Amino acid sequence: MADNKQLLLLAVLIGAPAQAADMVKLDGFLISSTEITQADYESVTGSNPSFYKGPRRPVENVSWWDAIRYCNRRSTKEGLTPCYDLATGRCDRSRNGYRLPTGEEWDKAAASSDPQQANLSSGDTKDTAPLLELIRKGTRDAASFAPNKSGLFDMLGNVWEWTGDDEPVIACVIRGGSFLSSRTSWNSGYRSSLEPERKSRFTGFRVARTAIDDWFEPYNRRPPGYETSTGNLTPLTDIAALEKKWTGILGSMSLKPPPPSARRAAIIRNPGYSGELMYLRTEPDSEEKILILRPDHPLRTPTPVVIVPYYDVDVPAEQDLYGRHFQPSRVRGYARLAVERGYIAVAIRWFGESYGERYDEAVANLKMRHPAATGLGKWVWDSQRLLDYLYTLPEVDRGHIGIIGHSLGAKMALYAAAMDKRITAVVFSEGGIGFHMSNYDDFWYLGDAIHHLPPGTDQHELLGLIAPRPFLLIGGDEYDKAESWHYINAARTVYQRFGKPGNIGYFNHHTGHTPTPEAVSLAMRWLDRFLR
């Protein structure tokens, strides 16, 4: 918190561009460290009604209704659930969006404020000259004075602040005083009221949030400039047409699905869980290796499933099962992590490791057998055969089937979920969400098909197909960087139509291609949230 205070004070002193106010967490709620500035207000509403103009000055000349409209619009912009019914002004404080602080919250926030560190008047009521000079000068930039012990600026003075305990009836309470209020007024609590329609150059507001949904905060850390930007991505309007479009892009396997079946090759036992190494029937004369891990004591029956696609099944299991290039990795062992959390974990091998001696031979075999299919089309086919088989298992909870993948596995997770709604939650780690971010033009992915796509086609459309099912992107700045927010923002418009803006998120660990323990923990936490 001290670092945030110092940075904000430094920004004021050197004239840095205004940023949205930090939120300070107090007892059960969050409150903005400064009054909402004119730059804050204009970035959300597109207007600045203030009398005393200045981007870092507090916004004023706003009614109570203006303030709650700002709260709802900012909530929507940031993927939070709006709190206010704008027809009545009623506030649902159980939601995670922005709202005005209650009187009790305002009192807690202001408790350690010092009237001597505030833009207040001297209290001279005998001479009008100082009063007129104060009116001429008006407000000061946010954070021009030292913060209180909670790290909050301007709780006293500068502008009165709208608060809200209940929906407005006749008047609404304002708190804190303005630059004209006397320092001697503290004994009366700097409390007054105004009609909710009233606008005044002496009254602005700050915002609060109920600290009930903090779980989403790590997944919504959008860098400056990427709050709502979608870059050059085409708007997602006709979602119904996308499934047909992408089925055509991926190409046909030109055969009917075989009856779901798998043959057991080996039993694997570990402390707390056991596994079956199996070969899944994917074509009438072709199989794919899968590993099904079951906890000795599942958390519930039927049990949620986590699918982990990768080159082979051994890295997800963190166990040498004689794959081509097994290397133990504590941050890619998603199948082991999932089974230890009580899920049925299912690792599946990529066809490129099994359909031929290596990738070239695998693709050659694919083209000889199914000339119209792309590599990713073949993978989608295999993933659907896996889901067909899982649906035959009585212990499987069909309504809670997640998929998580890293790198190649991330691409596999994205395409499997986009093309099959039986997958109910997705984690995509460092796969490169945009076509230009990774090697999607290699012939084991899309190959030549990527050069013949309709204008505007990109993988934000796959996210539109996944909506409103939960989707988390994990980035590390090698393939998925800040630009990946364009894809999340573009898809979030679809999630908002479903009323589920918090079902899509992005966490960037900024350390390169290999996920960090924190990133892995947040990925599993995401799955827990939506599969439990």
Q: Residue 222 domain-assigned?
A: no
- Of the three residues 194, 212, 230, the one that is the final residue of a domain is 212
In this predicted structure, what is the pLDDT of residue 419? 98
CB 277 within 8 A of CB 265: yes
CATH code where residue 466 lies: 3.40.50.1820
Q: Residue 322 domain-assigned?
A: yes
Is the domain of 274 the same as that of 147? Answer: no
Condensed to tens digits (0 to 9), the pLDDT of residues 96-135 reads: 899 999 999 999 999 999 988 898 887 666 667 777 888 8
In this predicted structure, what is the pLDDT of residue 128? 75
Confidence of residue 324 (pLDDT cuts 50, 70, 90): low
Cβ count within 10 A of residue 352 = 22
Q: Residue 231 domain-assigned?
A: no
Is the domain of 84 the same as that of 133? Answer: yes
On the question of pLDDT at 381 being above 90, the answer is yes
What is the number of domains present in the chain? 2
Going by their DSSP bridges, the two strands 160-162 and 29-32 should be labelled as: unpaired
Is the domain of 86 the same as that of 190? Answer: yes
The residue assigned the tokens 């106010």 is 21
- Of the three residues 153, 177, 212, the one that is the final residue of a domain is 212
Q: What residue numbers bound the domain in which 159 lies?
A: 2-212
Q: Residue 103 domain-assigned?
A: yes
On the question of pLDDT at 212 being above 80, the answer is no
Is the domain of 207 the same as that of 349? Answer: no
Task: Please state the rounded mean pLDDT for residues 210-226.
Answer: 84
Q: Residue 139 domain-assigned?
A: yes
CATH code where residue 10 lies: 3.90.1580.10
Nearest-5° Cα angle at 91, 88 to 93 = 165
Is the domain of 204 the same as that of 293? Answer: no
Is the domain of 205 the same as that of 299? Answer: no
The residue assigned the tokens 């573009």 is 490
- Of the three residues 212, 229, 250, the one that is the final residue of a domain is 212
pLDDT: which is higher, 13 or 368? 368
Is the domain of 121 the same as that of 253? Answer: no
On the question of pLDDT at 84 being above 80, the answer is yes
Q: Residue 27 domain-assigned?
A: yes
Is the domain of 198 the same as that of 284? Answer: no
For the chain, the distance separating the N- and C-terminal CA atoms, rounded to the nearest angstrom, is 34
Helices (H) and strands (E) in the chain, counts: 14, 16
Which run of H or of E encompasses 174? strand 172-175
On the question of pLDDT at 18 being above 90, the answer is no
498 vs 79: CA distance, rounded Å = 12
Is the domain of 204 the same as that of 294? Answer: no
Is the domain of 199 the same as that of 318? Answer: no
Helices (H), 15-144: 38-45, 64-77, 103-110, 128-137
Q: Both tokens of residue 449?
A: 């098909």
Nearest-5° Cα angle at 70, 66 to 76 = 145
Up-side HSE of residue 43: CA atoms within 13 Å toward CB? Answer: 22
Is the domain of 173 the same as that of 32? Answer: yes
Is the domain of 208 the same as that of 257? Answer: no
Q: Residue 234 domain-assigned?
A: no
On the question of pLDDT at 8 being above 60, the answer is no
Q: Residue 233 domain-assigned?
A: no
Q: Which amino acid is at 5?
A: K
409 vs 275: CA distance, rounded Å = 21
